[in-house]
């Protein structure tokens, strides 16, 4: 019998949240050496050099100023990888994590904010202050509350001498643009920018260099036949979309425990932003776990309505499309 994600409501204790804050399975064995810079994009090789040098500074505790403030010979105390989707930012961030000495933490932005919620702000600061490095993947600010929370958290960690590294599709000074009234929170956003040295990575989405667009969607019979495989899940797209509203996004990883291939019936174009953003998080967790997707209905390049692709979250949606198309290609191999 297939697994039904809609029947799952995982409970994730705080100790599991902390223990799992490491690079996901897809990036468990990556290194700087395994990154393949595009020869036509010099910034990619330059980013490797910057990160290798930065890794060598991790573990160096900063000198203390009076009144408990700290200063570091290395300047800002953090690096921020900015670039489009599919240029290898997560690969490089994970390579940094693998290279640097511990204790260290690797989390997506949503995982980090949920960890703070689970532990409480002061306990989270106390726990993370003992780390040499905190890596935050897919850094984004979707509401003013997160702006203040993350700004304050990173400021406290930087003062404690923790080195910081992050990836995003948005420069730190422009976080939140198009999503809320950034003028009201300009000081907090500028404070985030001051915590990092920005490293630009240019290039095409490596998942689609020279490859065709989204593969044709299989028919319903093929989806259901694939779902008979061991470890396969099977859900109707509408039912799963509704179920995701009942599960905190930080638990979407646990929702996929034991799943080897994700099968979906009747994928449809989404025009509701709340639904779309939850699907983005699920797509990230499936991609992290390298789960092939076999889905009938519309192809994933038509998953999000045009008005969503023109709005403030468009970079998130394009990243999700890129990743889902890659997983659909893997799903086509499973079908075969």
Residues 222 and 92 both lie in one domain: no
Overall domain count for the chain: 2
Residues 243 and 190 both lie in one domain: no
Residues 199 and 214 both lie in one domain: no
Residue 248 counted as domain residue = yes
Closest CA to 162 of 133, 121, 195, 123: 133
Residue 1 counted as domain residue = no
Concatenating the DSSP letter of every residue in 226-266 gives HTTSTTEEEEEHHHHHHHHTTS-GGGHHHHTTT-SEEEEEE
Please write the tens of the pLDDT for every residue from 91-146. 999 999 999 998 999 998 878 887 887 788 998 898 899 899 999 887 765 555 66
Check if the beta carbon of residue 94 is closer than 8 Å to that of residue 27: yes
Distances (CA, A) of 109 to 96, 147, 230, 283: 17, 12, 32, 15
Q: According to the model, what pLDDT value does residue 81 have?
A: 85
Residues 79 and 141 both lie in one domain: yes
- Spatial separation of the C-alpha atoms in residues 108 and 242, rounded to whole Å: 23
Q: Which of 182, 204, 226 lies at the terminal end of a domain, its last residue?
A: 204
Following CA atoms 41, 46, 52, 55 in sequence, which dihedral angle do they give, to the nearest 10 degrees? -100
Residue 21 counted as domain residue = no
Confidence grade of residue 13 (pLDDT, cut at 50, 70, 90) = confident
Residues 264 and 180 both lie in one domain: no
Strand partners, 295: 264
Q: Strand 104-108 and strand 78-83: pairing?
A: unpaired
Whether 85 has a pLDDT exceeding 70, the answer reads no
Residues 223 and 199 both lie in one domain: no
Q: Average the pLDDT over each of 53-57, 106-110, 218-222, 306-310 and give the range with the smallest value.
A: 106-110
Average pLDDT over residues 147-167: 83
According to DSSP, residue 215 is labeled P
Distances (CA, A) of 27 to 32, 38, 80, 88, 162: 12, 19, 19, 11, 23
Check if the beta carbon of residue 285 is closer than 8 Å to that of residue 256: yes
Q: Which of 184, 204, 224 lies at the terminal end of a domain, its last residue?
A: 204
Domain span at 242:
209-335
Q: According to the model, what pLDDT value does residue 94 have?
A: 96
Residue 188 counted as domain residue = yes
Contacts of 292 (CB under 8 A, 6+ apart): 261, 262, 327, 328, 330, 331, 333, 334
Q: According to the model, what pLDDT value does residue 52 have?
A: 94
Name the helix (H) or strand (E) containing 324: helix 314-335
Residues 213 and 306 both lie in one domain: yes
Q: What average pLDDT does the chain have?
A: 82
Residues 195 and 228 both lie in one domain: no
Q: According to the model, what pLDDT value does residue 118 have?
A: 77
Residues 189 and 94 both lie in one domain: yes
Residues 183 and 216 both lie in one domain: no
Q: According to the model, what pLDDT value does residue 204 have?
A: 67
Q: According to the model, what pLDDT value does residue 133 have?
A: 94
Q: Strand 261-267 and strand 163-168: pairing?
A: unpaired
> Looking at per-residue confidence, does 17 or 177 come out higher?
17
Q: Strand 104-108 and strand 133-137: pairing?
A: parallel
**pTM of structure:** 0.74
Residue 64 counted as domain residue = yes
Concatenating the DSSP letter of every residue in 132-176 gives SEEEEES----SHHHHHHHHHHHHHHHHTT-EEEEEESS-GGGTT
Average pLDDT over residues 21-31: 90
Residues 174 and 292 both lie in one domain: no
Q: Average the pLDDT over each of 78-82, 89-93, 219-223, 329-333 and give the range with the smallest value.
A: 78-82
- Spatial separation of the C-alpha atoms in residues 55 and 230, rounded to whole Å: 41
Whether 283 has a pLDDT exceeding 60, the answer reads yes
Q: Which of 137, 169, 204 lies at the terminal end of a domain, its last residue?
A: 204
Residues 225 and 242 both lie in one domain: yes
Q: According to the model, what pLDDT value does residue 207 have?
A: 54
Residue 184 counted as domain residue = yes
Residue 16 counted as domain residue = no
Q: According to the model, what pLDDT value does residue 181 have?
A: 38
Q: Average the pLDDT over each of 50-54, 181-185, 297-301, 303-307 and give the range with the smallest value.
A: 181-185
The domain that contains 153 carries what CATH number?
Answer: 3.40.50.300
């Amino acid at each position: 019998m297939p697994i039904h994600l809609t029947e799952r409501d995982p409970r994730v204790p705080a100790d599991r949240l902390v223990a799992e804050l490491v690079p996901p399975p897809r990036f468990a064995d990556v290194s700087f050496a395994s990154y393949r810079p595009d020869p036509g994009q010099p910034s990619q090789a330059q980013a490797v050099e910057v990160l290798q040098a930065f890794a060598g500074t991790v573990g160096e505790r900063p000198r203390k100023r009076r009144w408990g403030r700290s200063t570091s010979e290395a300047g800002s105390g953090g690096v921020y990888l900015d670039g489009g989707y599919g240029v290898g930012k997560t690969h490089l961030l994970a390579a940094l994590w693998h290279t640097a000495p511990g204790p260290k933490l690797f989390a997506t932005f949503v995982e980090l904010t949920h960890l703070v919620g689970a532990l409480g702000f002061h306990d989270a600061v106390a726990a993370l202050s003992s780390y040499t490095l905190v890596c935050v993947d897919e850094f984004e600010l979707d509401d003013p509350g997160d702006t203040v929370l993350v700004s304050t958290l990173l400021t406290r960690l930087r003062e404690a001498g923790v080195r910081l590294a992050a990836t995003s599709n948005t420069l730190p000074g422009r976080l939140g643009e198009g999503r809320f009234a950034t003028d009201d929170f300009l000081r907090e956003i500028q404070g985030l920018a001051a915590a990092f040295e920005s490293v630009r990575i240019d290039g095409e989405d490596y998942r689609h260099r020279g490859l065709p667009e989204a593969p044709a969607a299989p028919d319903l019979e093929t989806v259901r036949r694939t779902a008979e495989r061991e470890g396969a899940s099977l859900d109707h797209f509408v039912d799963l979309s509704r179920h995701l509203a009942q599960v905190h996004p930080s638990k979407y990883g646990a929702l996929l425990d034991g799943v080897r291939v994700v099968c979906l019936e009747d994928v449809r174009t989404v025009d509701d932003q709340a639904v779309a953003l939850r699907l983005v998080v699920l797509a990230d967790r499936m991609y992290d776990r390298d789960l092939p997707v076999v889905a009938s209905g519309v192809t994933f390049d038509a998953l999000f309505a045009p008005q969503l692709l023109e709005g403030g979250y468009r970079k998130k949606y394009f990243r999700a499309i890129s990743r889902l198309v890659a997983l659909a290609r893997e799903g086509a191999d499973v079908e075969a």
